[in-house]
Structure 1
């Protein structure tokens, strides 16, 4: 993560140090089709084995306050299409709605990366978010094994229902993304997941090649999950993306 990090000492007097870990000033991959800045929120209670931002799992990774982050964004107004709040888990921050409103006042569209860990906090962002990238961890029955936390599955599916309601109300676009880990998934479970998402009304989906703690791909994409899985996902969704590590 080539981000701008400003230490607590650099925060304006009285601003306080909020749980931000840094900013990627320009990204073309965090919001498909948009050039954005990405703000990283520190902290995540889940422990997915393929996490590519594992250094942000602890709240202590927060070194940047919002006024400093906003100043970085303000310098890029006119060059960016928007800002994506990512993590960690962005909805962990109780100030998230305020940050989004502030960024929108700068003229930036608002994107969100979330794993759906806090469904009601996601619901509270209705009307503030233009695009949601929701991590769908696995097929029904397999989510807790990915996150390492019992009860994760119910939260994730509830968050999906909330996100779909936000789409139906015309306030947000949604992409469901699944990171692939052959240690916990099979081709059959991926077919099942595609069918489950389609049945719920998902129209935009993506599969992403998982990486290990050293950043190496977890599998040979030429061998797994196989063309039959990719064709199935391509057939079921209006827009489908396959993303290599």
Structure 2
């Protein structure tokens, strides 16, 4: 027992909803070895979501913050930073305090976001070292993917904030032909390039973890779409489903 074990946890630690924790990841922050904290809650219901169990915040958090912090403290010197993912991590109002605590531990902070809460995201950006922005489609077609009207305007307000923030970032778009047409994907990529995005990843849908049976079959990336998007970005990546 440490001298602080008998002290009450700060209110934000009691509120934060940690739904999962990965102590070592080489893929969630390109070029970095990172721990990943998965927060519960997301206002969108994307059909191809591979973490649907993290969409709701019903019931107590599966993992207490002090358990996460203890593991992070043991891994200082072995990991480069911590990525907050989800769900949609900005849905958790305790995220700013959690980010501040991770920085106090001497670790860099990455964030995965779809941009559902542009005001919260913009306030967080000065504390973030890297953003992985999940672009869904062009603004007009967002509800086809998220199931929520108005989601396109919020996502693109967030995209603009990230692009002009000066924070290192990667935009990525997951393609599934039943949800995103090649034309919509191309328009989204063109808009991202217009914002000044330089690093962009086009990702094939992965069926693993997806609850929607009608989307269960993987959707191949059209070669013509790849050929049209790749030249738009100085640093383009193609990520297959395998």
- Structure 2 regions of 5+ residues with no counterpart? none
Matching residue of 1:102: 101
Q: Structure 1 pair 183/70, CA: closer, same or farther in 2 (3 Å)? A: same
Matching residue of 1:225: 222
Following superposition, the deviation at residue 35 of structure 1 comes to 0.7
Matching residue of 1:196: 191
Whether the 8 Å contact between 1:42 and 1:59 is mirrored in structure 2 is yes
Following superposition, the deviation at residue 17 of structure 1 comes to 5.3
- Structure 1 regions of 5+ residues with no counterpart? 1-10
Residue 187 in 1 paired to residue 186 in 2?
A: no
Matching residue of 2:200: 205
Aligned length: 227
Question: 1:17-28 counterparts in 2 under 5 A?
Answer: 18-28=16-26
Q: Distance in 2 between matches of 1:186 and 1:12?
A: 56
Higher mean alpha-carbon deviation, 60-69 vs 130-139, is at 60-69
Whether the 8 Å contact between 2:16 and 2:95 is mirrored in structure 1 is no
Whether the 8 Å contact between 1:17 and 1:63 is mirrored in structure 2 is no
Partner of 2:179: helix, strand, or coil?
Answer: coil
Q: Distance in 2 between matches of 1:12 and 1:45?
A: 36
Q: Distance in 2 between matches of 1:67 and 1:77?
A: 15
Matching residue of 2:30: 32
Residue 57 in 1 paired to residue 52 in 2?
A: no
Following superposition, the deviation at residue 162 of structure 1 comes to 1.1
* 1:142-175 deviation digits (Å, cap 9, x = unpaired): 11110001110010000011112212xxxx1111
Which one scores higher on RCO, CA 8 angstroms, separation ≥ 6? 2
Whether the 8 Å contact between 2:139 and 2:153 is mirrored in structure 1 is no
Following superposition, the deviation at residue 197 of structure 1 comes to 1.2
Matching residue of 1:238: 234
Partner of 1:52: helix, strand, or coil?
Answer: coil
- What is the Cα-based RMSD across aligned positions, in Å? 1.8
Matching residue of 1:7: none
* 1:24-65 deviation digits (Å, cap 9, x = unpaired): 000011011111000000111100000010011111373223
If the length of structure 1 is used for normalisation, what is the TM-score?
0.87
Q: Distance in 2 between matches of 1:187 and 1:165?
A: 27
Following superposition, the deviation at residue 13 of structure 1 comes to 6.1
If the length of structure 2 is used for normalisation, what is the TM-score?
0.88
* 1:55-103 deviation digits (Å, cap 9, x = unpaired): 1111137322322211111111111011000001100111111111111
